[in-house]
Amino acid sequence: MSTSDGFEDAEDLITDARTKFAELYAENVNAGLYAEVDLERVRNDDAVVLQYVKHQKNDLVKTAGMMDSSLRFRQEMKINDLTESSFPRDLHEMGAVFFHGEDKKGQPVLYFPVKKCRKDPEKFTIMKQFVAWWIDKHWLKTPDKKVAVLFDMTDAGFSNVDIELLKFQISCFTTYYPALLDFMLIYEMPWVLNAIWKVIKTLLTPDQQKRVLFVKKNQIAEYIDQENLMVHMGGEDTYDYTYIPSEDSGFESIAGSEPCTPTEENGDDLHSICESSTSLVDPPTSAASPITPNKKRSYNPLSFFKR
How far out from the chain centre does Cα 163 lie? 17
pTM assigned to the model = 0.80
pLDDT digits (tens, 9 = 90+) for 25-48: 999 999 999 999 999 999 999 999
* Nearest by Cα to 108 from 149, 52, 136: 149
pLDDT band of residue 158 (cuts 50, 70, 90) is confident
Q: What is the pLDDT of residue 298?
A: 47
Number of neighbouring beta carbons within 10 Å of residue 91: 20
Please check the confidence at residue 275 and state whether its pLDDT lies above 70.
no
Q: What is the pLDDT of residue 181?
A: 96
- Asked whether the beta carbons of 269 and 99 are under 8 A apart, the reply is yes
- Asked whether the beta carbons of 294 and 128 are under 8 A apart, the reply is no
Q: What is the pLDDT of residue 57?
A: 95
How far out from the chain centre does Cα 134 lie? 7
pLDDT digits (tens, 9 = 90+) for 115-157: 998 888 899 999 999 999 989 999 999 999 999 999 999 999 8
Q: What is the pLDDT of residue 67?
A: 98
Number of neighbouring beta carbons within 10 Å of residue 259: 18
Q: What is the pLDDT of residue 279?
A: 27
Please check the confidence at residue 266 and state whether its pLDDT lies above 90.
no
Please check the confidence at residue 23 and state whether its pLDDT lies above 90.
yes
Question: Which of the pair, 240 or 71, is modelled with greater confidence?
Answer: 71
CATH number corresponding to 84-306: 3.40.525.10
Q: What is the pLDDT of residue 255?
A: 46
The domain spans of the chain are 1-76, 84-306
What value does the mean pLDDT of the chain take? 83
Distance CA 78, CA 129 (A): 8
Question: Which of the pair, 143 or 297, is modelled with greater confidence?
Answer: 143
How far out from the chain centre does Cα 184 lie? 10
Q: What is the pLDDT of residue 171?
A: 94
* Nearest by Cα to 147 from 207, 197, 211: 211
Number of neighbouring beta carbons within 10 Å of residue 144: 16
